[in-house]
Amino acid sequence: MQHRPMKLYHALQSQGFGTRKVCVARVRAGEVAVNGEVCDDPEARVDPARLELTLDGVAWAYREKAYVLMHKPAGYECSHHASHHPSVFALLPPPLVQRGVQCVGRLDQDSTGLLLLSDDGQFIHRMTSPKKGVAKVYRAVCAEPVSDAMLDALRSGVQLNDEPAPIAALACERLDERSLRLTLAEGKYHQVKRMVGATGNRVERLHREAIGLFTLPADLPPGGWRWLETDDLKQLEQSWPSAMS
Protein backbone atom coordinates (compact mmCIF):
# COMPACT_ATOMS: atom_id res chain seq x y z
CA MET A 1 0.00 0.00 0.00
CA GLN A 2 1.30 3.43 -0.96
CA HIS A 3 1.06 6.34 1.45
CA ARG A 4 1.04 10.00 0.56
CA PRO A 5 3.59 12.23 2.29
CA MET A 6 2.16 13.90 5.38
CA LYS A 7 3.14 16.68 7.74
CA LEU A 8 5.30 15.59 10.66
CA TYR A 9 2.95 16.88 13.34
CA HIS A 10 0.07 14.99 11.67
CA ALA A 11 2.10 11.77 11.64
CA LEU A 12 2.84 12.18 15.34
CA GLN A 13 -0.80 12.88 16.13
CA SER A 14 -1.95 9.79 14.20
CA GLN A 15 0.42 7.59 16.23
CA GLY A 16 -0.99 8.75 19.56
CA PHE A 17 1.59 11.31 20.67
CA GLY A 18 -0.93 13.95 21.64
CA THR A 19 -3.07 16.72 20.25
CA ARG A 20 -2.01 18.84 17.29
CA LYS A 21 -0.81 21.54 19.69
CA VAL A 22 1.24 19.10 21.77
CA CYS A 23 2.82 17.48 18.70
CA VAL A 24 3.75 20.83 17.14
CA ALA A 25 5.33 21.96 20.42
CA ARG A 26 7.37 18.78 20.80
CA VAL A 27 8.75 19.05 17.28
CA ARG A 28 9.67 22.72 17.72
CA ALA A 29 11.39 21.85 20.99
CA GLY A 30 13.66 19.41 19.14
CA GLU A 31 12.23 16.37 20.91
CA VAL A 32 11.46 14.42 17.74
CA ALA A 33 13.82 12.57 15.41
CA VAL A 34 12.76 11.43 11.94
CA ASN A 35 14.64 8.33 10.78
CA GLY A 36 17.40 9.15 13.25
CA GLU A 37 17.69 12.87 12.49
CA VAL A 38 16.23 15.56 14.79
CA CYS A 39 13.65 17.69 12.98
CA ASP A 40 12.26 20.91 14.47
CA ASP A 41 9.83 21.75 11.63
CA PRO A 42 6.33 20.43 12.41
CA GLU A 43 5.25 21.16 8.82
CA ALA A 44 8.02 19.01 7.32
CA ARG A 45 6.74 16.39 4.90
CA VAL A 46 7.48 12.77 5.80
CA ASP A 47 6.86 9.51 3.97
CA PRO A 48 4.79 7.14 6.16
CA ALA A 49 6.06 4.13 4.21
CA ARG A 50 9.61 4.65 5.49
CA LEU A 51 9.06 6.54 8.71
CA GLU A 52 10.59 5.89 12.12
CA LEU A 53 9.87 8.45 14.82
CA THR A 54 12.00 8.70 17.95
CA LEU A 55 10.68 10.39 21.09
CA ASP A 56 12.13 10.15 24.61
CA GLY A 57 14.75 7.77 23.27
CA VAL A 58 12.16 5.27 21.98
CA ALA A 59 11.88 4.48 18.26
CA TRP A 60 8.40 4.02 16.81
CA ALA A 61 7.83 2.74 13.27
CA TYR A 62 4.81 4.40 11.67
CA ARG A 63 1.80 2.08 11.58
CA GLU A 64 -1.39 3.09 9.82
CA LYS A 65 -3.34 0.72 12.08
CA ALA A 66 -2.30 -0.73 15.41
CA TYR A 67 -2.43 -4.50 15.91
CA VAL A 68 -1.15 -5.59 19.31
CA LEU A 69 -0.72 -8.87 21.15
CA MET A 70 -0.70 -9.03 24.95
CA HIS A 71 -0.18 -11.85 27.41
CA LYS A 72 -2.88 -10.80 29.84
CA PRO A 73 -2.00 -11.45 33.49
CA ALA A 74 -4.53 -12.23 36.19
CA GLY A 75 -5.97 -9.32 38.14
CA TYR A 76 -6.54 -6.93 35.22
CA GLU A 77 -9.79 -5.82 33.61
CA CYS A 78 -10.27 -5.52 29.84
CA SER A 79 -11.82 -2.07 30.14
CA HIS A 80 -10.78 1.55 29.75
CA HIS A 81 -12.92 2.27 32.81
CA ALA A 82 -11.89 -0.51 35.19
CA SER A 83 -13.88 -0.59 38.40
CA HIS A 84 -12.26 -3.02 40.85
CA HIS A 85 -8.89 -3.93 39.32
CA PRO A 86 -6.23 -2.25 37.18
CA SER A 87 -6.93 -1.94 33.45
CA VAL A 88 -4.97 -3.91 30.85
CA PHE A 89 -4.45 -0.54 29.13
CA ALA A 90 -2.17 0.44 32.03
CA LEU A 91 0.25 -2.21 30.68
CA LEU A 92 0.55 -0.42 27.32
CA PRO A 93 2.63 2.67 26.48
CA PRO A 94 0.55 5.89 26.47
CA PRO A 95 0.70 6.44 22.67
CA LEU A 96 -1.11 3.15 22.06
CA VAL A 97 -3.82 4.09 24.54
CA GLN A 98 -4.04 7.61 23.10
CA ARG A 99 -4.66 6.32 19.58
CA GLY A 100 -7.65 4.35 20.82
CA VAL A 101 -6.83 0.65 20.73
CA GLN A 102 -9.62 -1.60 21.98
CA CYS A 103 -9.67 -5.18 23.25
CA VAL A 104 -10.57 -7.67 20.54
CA GLY A 105 -12.90 -9.65 22.77
CA ARG A 106 -12.40 -9.76 26.50
CA LEU A 107 -10.99 -11.97 29.20
CA ASP A 108 -12.30 -11.91 32.77
CA GLN A 109 -10.10 -10.16 35.33
CA ASP A 110 -8.96 -13.50 36.78
CA SER A 111 -8.35 -15.11 33.37
CA THR A 112 -4.99 -15.05 31.61
CA GLY A 113 -3.54 -15.53 28.16
CA LEU A 114 -3.84 -14.30 24.60
CA LEU A 115 -5.43 -10.90 24.20
CA LEU A 116 -5.51 -8.91 20.95
CA LEU A 117 -5.94 -5.14 20.80
CA SER A 118 -6.44 -2.88 17.78
CA ASP A 119 -7.79 0.42 16.51
CA ASP A 120 -8.97 -1.23 13.26
CA GLY A 121 -12.76 -1.57 13.54
CA GLN A 122 -13.05 -4.02 10.64
CA PHE A 123 -10.39 -6.27 12.15
CA ILE A 124 -12.14 -6.22 15.53
CA HIS A 125 -15.47 -7.12 13.90
CA ARG A 126 -13.97 -9.99 11.92
CA MET A 127 -12.33 -11.48 14.97
CA THR A 128 -15.34 -11.15 17.29
CA SER A 129 -18.45 -11.51 15.13
CA PRO A 130 -20.35 -14.77 15.84
CA LYS A 131 -20.99 -15.06 12.10
CA LYS A 132 -17.25 -15.43 11.45
CA GLY A 133 -16.94 -18.33 13.91
CA VAL A 134 -13.29 -17.67 14.79
CA ALA A 135 -12.22 -20.42 17.18
CA LYS A 136 -10.80 -19.59 20.61
CA VAL A 137 -8.83 -22.22 22.52
CA TYR A 138 -8.82 -22.24 26.32
CA ARG A 139 -7.09 -24.31 29.00
CA ALA A 140 -9.17 -24.65 32.14
CA VAL A 141 -8.24 -26.03 35.55
CA CYS A 142 -11.35 -27.31 37.29
CA ALA A 143 -12.23 -27.70 40.97
CA GLU A 144 -13.24 -31.34 40.52
CA PRO A 145 -11.87 -34.15 38.34
CA VAL A 146 -12.74 -33.99 34.64
CA SER A 147 -14.95 -37.00 33.97
CA ASP A 148 -15.80 -38.69 30.68
CA ALA A 149 -19.43 -37.66 31.20
CA MET A 150 -18.36 -34.04 31.54
CA LEU A 151 -16.36 -34.19 28.30
CA ASP A 152 -19.27 -35.85 26.49
CA ALA A 153 -21.65 -33.14 27.71
CA LEU A 154 -19.36 -30.33 26.56
CA ARG A 155 -18.95 -31.94 23.14
CA SER A 156 -22.66 -32.63 22.64
CA GLY A 157 -23.91 -29.35 24.12
CA VAL A 158 -24.95 -27.93 27.48
CA GLN A 159 -27.88 -25.65 28.22
CA LEU A 160 -27.00 -22.21 29.56
CA ASN A 161 -29.39 -19.76 31.17
CA ASP A 162 -30.82 -17.22 28.72
CA GLU A 163 -29.70 -19.29 25.71
CA PRO A 164 -32.39 -20.75 23.43
CA ALA A 165 -30.47 -23.90 22.53
CA PRO A 166 -27.64 -26.00 23.98
CA ILE A 167 -24.10 -24.86 23.16
CA ALA A 168 -21.39 -27.35 22.24
CA ALA A 169 -17.64 -27.01 22.14
CA LEU A 170 -15.90 -27.39 18.79
CA ALA A 171 -13.38 -29.63 20.54
CA CYS A 172 -12.72 -30.77 24.08
CA GLU A 173 -9.95 -32.92 25.54
CA ARG A 174 -8.76 -33.86 29.01
CA LEU A 175 -5.18 -32.77 29.76
CA ASP A 176 -4.86 -34.26 33.23
CA GLU A 177 -7.13 -35.16 36.12
CA ARG A 178 -8.54 -31.66 36.62
CA SER A 179 -7.55 -29.83 33.41
CA LEU A 180 -9.08 -29.67 29.95
CA ARG A 181 -8.61 -27.84 26.66
CA LEU A 182 -11.79 -26.38 25.19
CA THR A 183 -12.29 -24.85 21.73
CA LEU A 184 -15.25 -22.54 21.18
CA ALA A 185 -16.59 -20.64 18.18
CA GLU A 186 -18.68 -18.18 20.18
CA GLY A 187 -17.57 -15.53 22.64
CA LYS A 188 -20.47 -15.32 25.04
CA TYR A 189 -20.23 -13.78 28.50
CA HIS A 190 -18.26 -16.06 30.88
CA GLN A 191 -18.91 -18.85 28.39
CA VAL A 192 -16.25 -21.34 29.46
CA LYS A 193 -17.08 -20.94 33.13
CA ARG A 194 -20.82 -21.24 32.46
CA MET A 195 -20.40 -24.31 30.26
CA VAL A 196 -18.21 -26.09 32.80
CA GLY A 197 -20.64 -25.03 35.54
CA ALA A 198 -23.50 -26.59 33.59
CA THR A 199 -21.75 -29.96 33.89
CA GLY A 200 -21.59 -29.69 37.69
CA ASN A 201 -17.93 -28.68 37.86
CA ARG A 202 -16.28 -25.28 38.36
CA VAL A 203 -13.40 -23.45 36.66
CA GLU A 204 -10.63 -22.40 39.06
CA ARG A 205 -8.16 -21.07 36.47
CA LEU A 206 -8.70 -20.12 32.83
CA HIS A 207 -6.07 -19.38 30.18
CA ARG A 208 -6.63 -18.54 26.50
CA GLU A 209 -4.00 -20.29 24.40
CA ALA A 210 -4.99 -19.40 20.85
CA ILE A 211 -7.31 -17.44 18.61
CA GLY A 212 -7.86 -19.12 15.27
CA LEU A 213 -4.51 -20.39 14.04
CA PHE A 214 -2.53 -17.92 16.12
CA THR A 215 -1.05 -19.22 19.40
CA LEU A 216 0.24 -17.16 22.29
CA PRO A 217 4.06 -17.08 21.93
CA ALA A 218 5.81 -19.01 24.68
CA ASP A 219 8.43 -16.26 25.10
CA LEU A 220 5.94 -13.46 25.85
CA PRO A 221 5.71 -13.10 29.65
CA PRO A 222 2.51 -12.21 31.53
CA GLY A 223 1.93 -8.47 31.23
CA GLY A 224 4.11 -8.25 28.11
CA TRP A 225 2.98 -6.97 24.72
CA ARG A 226 4.30 -6.73 21.19
CA TRP A 227 3.15 -5.64 17.75
CA LEU A 228 1.47 -8.16 15.49
CA GLU A 229 3.58 -8.33 12.35
CA THR A 230 2.64 -9.30 8.80
CA ASP A 231 3.08 -13.06 9.34
CA ASP A 232 1.00 -12.91 12.53
CA LEU A 233 -1.82 -11.13 10.73
CA LYS A 234 -1.71 -13.67 7.91
CA GLN A 235 -2.23 -16.44 10.46
CA LEU A 236 -5.21 -14.58 11.90
CA GLU A 237 -6.65 -13.92 8.44
CA GLN A 238 -6.71 -17.65 7.81
CA SER A 239 -9.10 -17.87 10.76
CA TRP A 240 -11.91 -16.17 8.81
CA PRO A 241 -12.04 -18.02 5.45
CA SER A 242 -15.28 -16.28 4.46
CA ALA A 243 -13.43 -12.96 4.46
CA MET A 244 -10.90 -14.31 1.96
CA SER A 245 -13.47 -15.35 -0.66
Q: E strand or H helix at 95, and its extent?
A: helix 94-98
Q: E strand or H helix at 24, and its extent?
A: helix 20-28
Q: Give alpha helix (H) positions in 166-229.
A: 191-198
Return all residues near 105 (Cβ < 8 A) that are at least 6 apart.
Answer: 115, 116, 127, 128, 136, 187, 211
Kindly give the pairing relationship between strand 179-184 and strand 32-34.
Answer: unpaired
Burial 47-73 (b: 16+ CB within 10 A, else e): ebeebebbbeeeebebeeebbbbbbbb
The C-alpha angle 176, 177, 181, rounded to 5 degrees, equals 50
Catalytic residue among 47, 108, 110, 120: 108
Our answer to whether residue 108 is catalytic in this structure is yes
DSSP secondary-structure letter at 185?
Answer: S
Task: Tell me the catalytic residues.
Answer: 108
